[in-house]
Amino acid sequence: MFQKQLIMRRVVYSLIPIFTFSFLLYGWRSLAICATVFLFGIATEYAFVKPRGKKVSEAILVTCALYALSMPPAVPLWISAIGIVFGVGFGKCIFGGFGRNIFNPAIAGRLFVYVAFPQGMQRSFLSPWKPGMPWVSWLRVPVDSATAATPLMNMRESEALEIFDLVTGFRMGSLGESAIILIVLAGFYLIFTRTANWKITLSTISSFSAVIVILWFASVSPVGGSTPFPPVESLLSGSILFVAVFMATDPVTSPKKPGAQWVYGILIGGVSAIIRIFSLFPEGVSFGILIGNTFASLLDEWFPAARVKANKAVSRTEKAEKAGISA
């Protein structure tokens, strides 16, 4: 049924510890969202590729995994289903399927439901399990989800955050964004195995941090807030690290030339920071990724490479299409 893709499996392997941690924090909600997303995501791609006699690519597993981990833990299951259907169908398959999509399908689906169902997304955060608390009940109903606030919401209200909770991941947020240590370890694994591009990851994180630091020194407060966002807490809050490691590095929707990759990462990180500070949206990484995707091909045109390097870039692209490097 699936087109085998070794590189895609590496990404899935790197996400397994993060899935496990999300289950520790949110119990059955994590499993329910993941099961729903994988069911509808795989079914959507199958509906598109079956009439053409093709197999479902293992890249769909990565798309579903990343999308599921970007969901709030108490999001209604029907919203998560609509988002993955839109992301796979309109963000990927409508462009011709695997390897031909312009936008990252996981981000496209996530942003679609975020804009279409803002209350359902923003009011779906739960207080996570922490060491010393009773184990999360499998029958627990998330009645407190409407009043739960993420670290980004707390910072906007000038509330102090515990660095320890941010680092260890025992704080509110989307299913996968809080596992900072596991995300960093996964990043090293993906870079070491040449599955992810380190230039994009580094430039995304660096540009985001640079903008936040500049605004912090300039005493610029976020919209709706009274004090500037502190740099360390800003980097550890939200999903910037998760996006920089797993989503910005998608080779199909990112530039192929080294110079363009640096600018691409700078664009994503900078836009994400600016939207986080100067808009009413609590997070801007989804917009940053899609804007970066929009300019990816143009950036490759702006950075001509030497003939030898260009040939290598073309060779890498061809190998990627054969091996299945796509989210």
Give 114-154 as a DSSP string: HHHSHHHHHT---PPP-TTSPPPPTT---TTGGG---HHHH
pLDDT in tens for each of the 327 residues of the chain?
A: 676 777 889 999 999 999 999 998 988 889 999 999 999 999 999 999 888 888 888 899 999 999 999 999 999 999 999 999 999 999 998 887 777 889 999 999 999 999 999 888 888 888 887 776 766 554 454 444 444 578 888 888 878 788 998 999 998 889 999 999 999 999 999 999 999 999 999 999 999 999 999 999 999 988 877 889 999 999 999 899 999 999 999 988 999 999 999 999 999 999 999 999 998 888 899 999 999 999 999 999 998 764 544 455 445 545 555 555 444
Domain coordinates in residue numbering, the chain? 2-323
pTM: 0.88
65 to 14, 18, 19, 142, 147: CA distances (angstroms): 11, 10, 9, 22, 27
